[in-house]
Structure 1
Amino acid sequence: MMGEFDAIRPYADAEVPAVLARLLADDAFLDILTQFRFPRLAGSLGWLLKPLIAYRLRREFRDVASVRTLQDKIEQYVDRTIEHATDGVTYSGVERLKPGSAYLFLANHRDIVMDPAFVNYAVYHAGLPTPRIAIGDNLLQKPFVSDLMRLNKSFIVHRSLSGRREKLAAYQLLSAYINHSIRQDGESIWIAQAEGRAKDGDDRTDSAILKMFHMSRKDEAFAEVIASLKLTPVSISYEYDPCDQAKARELFVRASSGRYDKAPGEDDKSIALGITGYKGRVHVHFGEPLSRGLDDSKQLAAEMDRQILAGYRLFPVHYLAYAMWSGRDPELQVPDATQLFPAEELAAAQAQWQQRLATCPAEQQPYLVLQYANPVRNQYRVKAGLPL
């Protein structure tokens, strides 16, 4: 691997054994594993459980000498987590992806860890190589998190730089790495359509990210660069968002005070809740890889939005939220949930939705509704050919 990408790239096969050994000797990592595996006993018996867990994992992973073998081993744990926290994952459009081709997956962004995990799940179960995953350095505060993510094909996006020159250099490097990964290494890439999660359920593509793809190949036409990367829109739909209450609270605080300051450890809590919290059904849709170029980032962002929003799967809860939303769109013909879903499915959704509303403080409820209603508005505007 070229040295210029060493600061951001995922670990290569040759590095796997050493990084695994480092991880399994990391106290903070073993602490989290112990709490995750034995939440009730971790406090009083952690001193005893930690070395046992480390010993078991060292035995289980001692023959792992490549990223692929590691992913095969981890897959059973991922599948188990997914089975516990969802009512099933479905996917569509995966037949558009050709073996031996590398794609640049651009996806809507709702959950820090699970968005790429579900894309990986779909691609892995379709028998295709999993993509390399873009992850912000703001989430890598502990060394073991960085090791863990880079072992699992993640590369680092430097977001916490403040100087303009440093930012520019970081984007230039990122652009070069993404182009190198797809064109030279033949490895797909997953990246979110915007920095930060869409906390209000309004998924939009940030054209600055699309411009970044072109930065390292400025002397070539924008449309040609994008076409060469096989840019593919991906829509990830969660029936229920485990972090919806926290997002509603943040939106409310921001709207009423003009700012929101994260508490220490808040990202860690979001990550844990996002992984283990109940999501209902999840659907991942792969759109058409762009073969014809669009001449600028604004046009391209509009096309990405069109495909991502059209490919989003709307569940009963989305229609229930839309029906009670004060921001309903008078131009749109949105059918009632009773016209679209069987009575039993709808009754289950109504019970779950009422429960979510009941546990949300009254002043924050409009922001909970907004998260589930926005995808309906957006999809029906796209279907009607109306501007977003």
Structure 2
Amino acid sequence: MDKYADIRPYNDDEVADAVARLIADNAFVDLIAKRNLPSWLAKVPFLSRPLVRSGLKRKWGSVKSVRQVQLEVVHYLEQIINNTTSQVTFSGLDELDKNGAYLFISNHRDIVLDPALVNFGLHQFDMNTVRIAIGDNLLQIPYITELMRLNKSFIVKRSAKAPKEMLRALTQLSAYIYDSLTEGHSIWIAQREGRTKDGFDQTDPALLKMLQLNGRKQKKEFADYVRELKIVPVSISYQYEPCAVSKAKELYHKKHHGEYVKQAGEDIESIVDGFTSDKGHVHLAFGQPISHDCDTPEDLAKTIDKQILESFYLHPGNYIAAQHADAIVDSESNDVKEFDKRMSAIPDHLRDLVMAIYAKPVLRKEEMDR
């Protein structure tokens, strides 16, 4: 009996059927047409759909395994990196065991790019890619579900509300993560539910309590169980924050109007914006596996935060926003001009909020050093 069938990624024997469902999905085909065909043609479905389906069948019709899917994803990710970044760099990966299975816990700035870039780094260093935790709030559209589960994503049931239902979902999730690691599959999960909107990267102890549910079932002490999980903090730093303006709009709305309710399709727009917007230099710093001084979820959260904050790569914009321009070297003067240009284009009522996103890592590093 497959006890994880409702949350796990697709297996190889399920790939062909999932691809066939994608190619048959009019909403998915129309999205591809909108992005790849002339606008006049994309608006005429009886012409555009056969063209797109024919192209998809040529490219994806022979895909039968998860590895084949991931090789195609790498191709698209390379295009995104070449078109929207100046460079993507990595540190710390050379210190990890290439054959090891790790629980990567990272700060969360972009819905899809964060784990995608983690995978890109692992691929560059000839390491196995991760299984990716993704909230079911992002899976309201069938083709999104198919794409995510094809690309090694597993489902976090955030929509569970009743206490017993929530406990069952979290217990299943905790066991799935542990079993994946035991079987040699690395995992990526964000340090908190949802992206940070204000630049304050902080691990939620509730996430770590969820991880311990399976350890408690095995009657293991928290510190011992943490060592088994091989948790590696990952710090992701974008020179130009993905979706910075939309994040600021959300913060502004909450401040002046109370609760912010997302519109239908807003998460999809954020995903597309993250893919297409210019991100400049992106750096991912992989930390050391956590093995001691973590007797409680709160202790572990502090340890993860310390590694993420210490290794966070500061770009010129971070220093400018924190009013520490004296820390910028002359060779980065073009980056300074570009950052100033970007900030001047932001509406006046949102500019301070965007600047605060960039400033926060600098200010927190200063607090840590005191």
Do they superpose with TM above 0.5?
yes
- Tell me if structure 1 keeps the 8 A contact 2:41–2:47: no
2:171 & 2:35 partners in 1: Cα distance? Answer: 38
SS for the counterpart of 1:281 is: strand
- C-alpha distance in 1 between matches for 2:79 and 2:12: 25
Residue type of the partner of 1:304?
I
TM superposition shift of 1:113:
0.7
Structure 1 residue 359 and structure 2 residue 345: aligned? yes
Would the alpha carbon gap of residues 29 and 44 (structure 1) be closer, same or farther in structure 2, given more than 3 Å must change? closer
Q: Report the CA distance between 1:57 and its aligned residue.
A: 1.8
Looking at structure 2, the residues matched to 214 and 339 of structure 1 have their Cα atoms a distance apart, in angstroms, of 42
Task: Give the 5 Å matches for 1:152-163.
Answer: 152-163=151-162
Does the C-alpha gap of structure 1 residues 283 and 37 become closer, same or farther in structure 2, counting only changes over 3 Å?
A: same
2:116 alignment partner in structure 1: 117
Counterpart CA distance in 2 for 1:40 and 1:376 is 44
Distance 2:336 2:89 in 1: 22
Measure the CA separation in 1 of the matches of 2:325 and 2:322: 10
Aligned with 2:189 (options 188, 191, 194): 191
- Paired residues, number: 368
Q: Distance in 2 between matches of 1:190 and 1:242?
A: 19
The residue identity in structure 2 corresponding to 1:186 is G
Report whether the alignment pairs 1:104 with 2:124.
Answer: no
Distance in 1, matches of 2:71 and 2:42, equals: 31
Q: Is the 8 A contact 1:224 1:293 kept in 2?
A: no
Match of 1:31 in 2: 30
Q: Separation in 2 of the partners of 1:121 and 1:14?
A: 25
State the SS of the aligned residue for 2:322. helix
Please state how far the C-alpha of 1:46 moved relative to its aligned partner. Answer: 4.4
Contact 1:227–1:293 (Cα < 8 Å) also in 2: no
> Any residues of structure 2 matched to 1:153-302 within 5 Å, and which?
153-183=152-182, 185-218=183-216, 219-292=219-292, 294-302=294-302
Higher mean C-alpha displacement, 201-210 vs 292-301: 292-301
In the alignment, structure 1 residue 374 sits paired with structure 2 residue 360? yes
- Specify whether residues 268 and 308 from structure 1 end up closer, same or farther in structure 2 by C-alpha distance, changes over 3 A only: same
- Name the aligned partner's letter for residue 249 of structure 1: K
CA contact (8 A) 2:105 2:190 kept: yes
Is 2:1 the partner of 1:12? no
Listed as ranges, the gaps of 5+ residues in structure 2 are none
Say which of 340, 363, 371 aligns to 2:328. 340
Q: Is the 1:91–1:283 Cα contact (8 Å) retained in structure 2?
A: yes
Closer, same or farther: CA 42–264 of 1 in aligned 2, 3 Å = farther
Report the AA paired with residue 196 of structure 1.
Answer: G
Which stretch shifts more, 174-183 or 356-365?
A: 356-365
For residue 42 of structure 1, report the CA deviation from its aligned partner.
4.9
Distance 2:29 2:54 in 1: 11
Shift of 1:217: 1.9
**Is residue 237–residue 284 contact of structure 1 (8 Å, CA) maintained in 2?**
yes
1:349 maps to 2:335:
yes
Q: Distance in 1 between matches of 2:14 and 2:42?
A: 33
TM-score, structure 2 normalization: 0.96
8 A contact 2:208–2:297 mirrored in 1: yes
Residue identity in the other structure for 2:188: W
Is contact 1:102-1:186 (8 Å) kept? Answer: yes
Q: Is the 8 A contact 2:319 2:325 kept in 1?
A: yes
| C-alpha deviation, 1:39, in angstroms | 5.9
**TM-score normalised to structure 1 length:** 0.91
Return the alpha-carbon distance in structure 2 between the equivalents of residues 156 and 242 of structure 1. Answer: 23
Match of 1:328 in 2: none
**For residues 41 and 203 of structure 2, what CA distance do their matches in structure 1 show?**
42
CA 1:41 to 1:278, structure 2 compared with 1: closer, same or farther past 3 Å?
farther
Partner of 1:253, secondary structure, is helix
Deviation at 1:73, TM superposition (A): 2.4
- Per-residue CA shift, 1:69-93, capped at 9, x if unaligned? 2211231111111211111100010
Verify the 8 A CA contact 1:182 1:189 in the aligned structure 2.
yes
8 Å contact from structure 1 (residues 132, 155) kept in 2: yes
